[in-house]
Amino acid sequence: MLGFLKGLSVTLSQLPKKKVTIQYPDVQPEWPERFRGVHRFIPEDCTVCNQCARICPTNCISLSGTRDENKKLRIDTYDINFDICILCGLCTEVCPTECILMSDTFELANESRDKLYLDMHWLYENQLRYTQRHPERVAQEAAKDHEEAPAT
Amino acid sequence: MWQWQTQPLTWSTFLAMLIGTVVILLLALGVVTYGILAERKVLGWMQGRIGPNRVGPFGLLQTVADVLKLFIKEDVVPAAADRPLFLLAPVLAFVPAFMALAVIPFSMQHIFTAGIGTGLLYYLALSALTIHGVMLGGWASNNKYSLIGGMRSAAQMLSYEVPLGLSLVGVALLAGSLNLNDVVRAQQHLGLWFIIPQFLGFCVFIVAATAELNRTPFDLPEAESELVAGYHTEYSGFRWAFFMLTEYVYLFAMAGLTATLFLGGWSGPWLPGWLWFALKAAAFFFFQFWLRNTMPRIRADQLMTLCWKVLLPLGLVNLVLTAVLKAVLLKG
Amino acid sequence: MDERDVVRTEEMLLNVGPQHPSTHGVFRLIVKISGETILDAEPVIGYLHRGTEKLAENLQYTQIIPYTDRLDYLAAMLNNYALCHTVEQALGVEIPERAEYLRVIVMELQRIASHLLFIGAYLMDLGAMGPFLYAFQERERIVQMFNEICGARLTYNYMRIGGVRWDAPPGWLDQVREFIPYMRERLKMYDDLITGNEIFLNRVRGVGKYDTETALAYGLSGINLRCTGLEWDLRRKKPYSIYDRFDFEIPVGKNGDCFDRYYLHLLEMRESLKIVEQAIEQIPSGPVLGKVPKLIRVPAGEYYSGIEGARGEIGFYIVSDGKDKPYRLKIRKPSFVNLQLLPELLRGESMSNLLAILGAVDIVLGEVDA
């Protein structure tokens, strides 16, 4: 008969509890290392293998490159259309040199769809921003690269 | 000049009345403003959130900003609506709700409000009038959800007037007066708040009052998950604000009534009378917010069953018990 | 009585949705009512149709996985698994032990998260505000754990054919271990808050009743079937993954009404916790991705396997012509199937029961429309 009183006592007991929300624009959420936000890109590592563009389920990556004087492929353009990108992270998985990576930038809202078409420069700047925010993570990545390099 | 209730009507007493009305209006607006903020804060706290805190310190100006936004919104009248009635409905709803405040004794002396001898009846009569505004609003909108909402609220508010009135009779019987100030004095004289000798009546009253206010768990007329927004689905801008204002002014009036009838009104030790009154009214407010966070909505068909098959008999039993109590204990 | 004396009333067509506070997405229900009695109801779906099945025909198997996240977006892990499981069955690949355990842990956590949201949203439909936000507090913890293991909060893309994408990060399993007692305590709180509430009971008891025959005739699965008393859970009946190693119960209802459907969600969360607890104790170390060719070619043929999703049997039916892309992919979407009973359930009911019934069917429009 008086089951609802139990419910009332439950809600009352929640009143003094610590609040679980964060003051979002003032306090940024902490994202874990694996968080898949907007991509970051390191142009000098790219070998223009085109694997990322091929694995992309939505075909949102387009890239082009040319051979330089040493016959090595250099990346010229690298665009990601974030209008259709679903941030699945498959491109980062197949990249042999780990030059396309995910960052923790997540605020993609924009007034125009054109602004969601992000090129190599923006993506590289995003990498620089990421380095600034998480120097320890980038250093870790570099150390891992260094470790793996002699083995291959 | 302030004793205008007993004076013949002259220009100066009329002026006093006018000032009194404006003061009460401002008071009501202030209570509504901060009542809404308190509701959002309390709900937030109960849900592990902070509640509004952006506009002004601790979000104190949040409601002000919201109201300001409502006032500068375009006044939209749907093309298919019954225009005159649509425009009239919010006013019709608001006026009686505000008028009901006239008999609430905020402190020992009726400074700005009327101490009429039939205060209780006056309150009941006026609170029933609000239904017209609500129903007209639902009808005039020419929207199916509004219509259902309006009809439901008419049925609900009319039905619950009966147990509400019955539960008040017990109090009136015990106090021996319909004047609200006399009811408070009776409680002071008895040295006991009526919530104790009238506990059954209080239970009936609080359920009926919640239903009258259209608040959870009786918020069927505006059940947002079923009827979008019930009778005020088509309203926006300041007309919608009027409906909201009605609701909260009515909540304020009901809080005042509860405090007066069952919690001893302005009477209490140490603190000034108006503060006691405010505290008791605030307790009623808090209770309503608390309910809102906990309770699911009652079903429409069970609403009537509860009213006629549970509350009405309980109210009658309470009336008989009170009469017997008064005849045996107080006289004997 | 003479016919002229009877007050003539007209039937009213009421459009519930596609923009309505409690259709849980873009779902439209055309209801024909007479007074407050529902004469007929017709669900209109397709507002969220994205052509997942057709799109899949042009995608490699690995590429389909992120698309499955977007079917039932409240239980993406289970969708991930359903696809991977079907492809793995077709390929006959060996899945490392640790990967299997990780999969079970995330799948059961996902089931809890999904059921939590059901309870919150259902109570919201019935007008109670609190439980919705309480449910989100626990769900947030699960989602945050998923975020740490796979880098996304909703569209996980965590499983791969032959295993999982990542191993658990350091300390992650301890987090899950700590979560279990916390969640148990919160479940008790839900019991106090909701299950005993008379108003709630009056709204859901005996409402939207159907029996096992009807449920089977309509092909219902999951809680919608178990609430009628039939013990049918694919985890038990057709054990996939490593579910045969765990000790858990299949709660079943008695009456097949909305209350049973609600209460089974609560009970199932308890069982899921049990599974997670056991899985954490048993989890071995080792690799998390089996040996799979880089380009997955499913041998020509037709394959189907279904798993127990959060809403019922979610299955993928693959027709392959031996290429790296499916020739045809058909998804058995539990919400879609469960929805078919709705018009029949609503006919003759009172308007005020509409949302109690609709909410208890527990549809996710991403899955219904695919």
Residue C23 amino acid letter: T
3-class SS of residue C330? strand
The angle that helices C130-150 and C172-190 make with each other, rounded to 10 degrees, is 170
Residue C147 and residue A4: Cβ atoms within 8 Å?
no
3-class SS of residue C318? strand
Kindly state whether B48 is in contact with chain A, defined as any CB-CB distance less than 8 angstroms: yes
Which of A3, A10, A35 faces C151 most closely, judged by CB atoms?
Answer: A35
CA distance readout (Å), B296 to A7, B264, C124: 11, 31, 8
- Could you tell me the pLDDT band of residue B224, with boundaries at 50, 70 and 90? low
What pLDDT does C181 receive? Answer: 92
CB B84 within 8 A of CB B251: no
Determine which of A15, A17, A22, A26 to mutate to test the interface with B (most B C-beta atoms within 10 Å). Answer: A15
Burial of B185 (0-12, 13-18, 19+ CB in 10 A): middle
Residues of A in contact with B288 (CB under 8 A): none
Kindly state whether A1 is in contact with chain B, defined as any CB-CB distance less than 8 angstroms: no
For chain C, what is the radius of gyration of the CA atoms? 21
Which of C66, C70, C130 faces A90 most closely, judged by CB atoms?
Answer: C66
Using alpha carbons, select from C224, C197, C193, C196 the residue that is nearest to residue C211.
C224
A31 token code pair = 């994202």
Residue B42 amino acid letter: V
What pLDDT does B4 receive? Answer: 57
Residue C134 and residue B48: Cβ atoms within 8 Å?
yes
CB C84 within 8 A of CB C65: yes
What is the mean pLDDT of the segment spanning B310-328?
86
Rounded (10°) CA dihedral C112, C117, C119, C123: 170
CB C208 within 8 A of CB C214: no
* Cα-based angle C260, C264, C269 (whole degrees, multiple of 5): 160
What is the mean pLDDT of the segment spanning A127-149?
80
- Tokens 């009628």 sit on residue: C228
What pLDDT does B1 receive? Answer: 44
| Dihedral (CA of C299, C301, C307, C309) sign | positive
E-state strands within chain C = 12-16, 28-34, 37-44, 159-160, 163-164, 301-308, 313-320, 328-332
- Could you tell me the pLDDT band of residue B309, with boundaries at 50, 70 and 90? confident
Tell me the C-alpha distance between A9 and C354, whole Å.
30
Kindly state whether A14 is in contact with chain B, defined as any CB-CB distance less than 8 angstroms: yes
Helix (H), strand (E) at residue B157: helix B144-175
**pLDDT (tens digit, 9 = 90+) per residue, B228-269?**
767 777 787 888 888 888 888 888 888 888 888 888 777 777
Q: Which of A23-37, A136-150, C126-140, C314-328 has the lowest mean pLDDT?
A: A136-150
Return the number of other C-beta atoms located less than 10 Å from residue C3's C-beta: 6
Tell me the C-alpha distance between B203 and B258, whole Å.
11
CB B211 within 8 A of CB B160: yes
Residue B295 and residue C199: Cβ atoms within 8 Å?
yes
Domains of chain C (ranges, CATH numbers): 49-369 (1.10.645.10)
Chain B: closest CA distance from residue A11 (Å): 6
Kindly state whether B50 is in contact with chain A, defined as any CB-CB distance less than 8 angstroms: yes
Which of C127, C137, C193 faces B223 most closely, judged by CB atoms?
Answer: C127
Residue A34 and residue C134: Cβ atoms within 8 Å?
no
- Tokens 């239970």 sit on residue: B203
Which is more confidently placed, B132 or B273? B132
What pLDDT does C202 receive? Answer: 84
Tell me the C-alpha distance between B281 and B261, whole Å.
11
pLDDT for B47 beyond 70:
yes
Rounded percentage of chain A residues whose pLDDT exceeds 90: 0
Backbone angles phi, psi at B273, to 5 degrees: -60, -45
Which residue in C has a C-alpha nearest to residue B217's C-alpha?
Answer: C127
First to last CA, chain A: 73
CB C215 within 8 A of CB C226: no
* DSSP secondary structure string for all residues of B237-291: HHHHHHHHHHHHHHHHHHHHHHHHHHS-TT--SSS-HHHHHHHHHHHHHHHHHHH
Residues of C in contact with A93 (CB under 8 A): 165
Q: Which of A37-46, B114-123, C96-105, C247-256 has the lowest mean pLDDT?
A: B114-123
Residues of chain C with pLDDT under 70: 1-8, 21-23
Question: How does strand C159-160 pair with strand C328-332?
Answer: unpaired
E-state strands within chain B = none
Cβ pairs bridging A and B (under 8 Å):
34
What pLDDT does A152 receive? Answer: 43
Helix (H), strand (E) at residue C13: strand C12-16
CB B137 within 8 A of CB B89: yes
What pLDDT does C319 receive? Answer: 92
Tell me the C-alpha distance between B12 and B10, whole Å.
5
Q: List all chains that touch chain C, counting a touch as 3 or more CB pairs closer than 8 Å.
A: A, B
3-class SS of residue C84? helix
Helix (H), strand (E) at residue A62: strand A61-67
Q: C40 pairs with which residues across the strands?
A: C32
Chain A: closest CA distance from residue C10 (Å): 39
Tell me the C-alpha distance between B64 and B241, whole Å.
12
Burial of B149 (0-12, 13-18, 19+ CB in 10 A): buried
What integer best gives the mean pLDDT of chain B? Answer: 82
Residues of C in contact with B43 (CB under 8 A): 129
Kindly state whether B45 is in contact with chain A, defined as any CB-CB distance less than 8 angstroms: yes
Which is more confidently placed, A1 or A64? A64
Tell me the C-alpha distance between B141 and B316, whole Å.
39
C162 token code pair = 């032959």
CA distance readout (Å), A31 to B231, C115, C141: 45, 25, 13
What pLDDT does B6 receive? Answer: 64
C288 token code pair = 């998390």
Tell me the C-alpha distance between A31 and C237, whole Å.
40
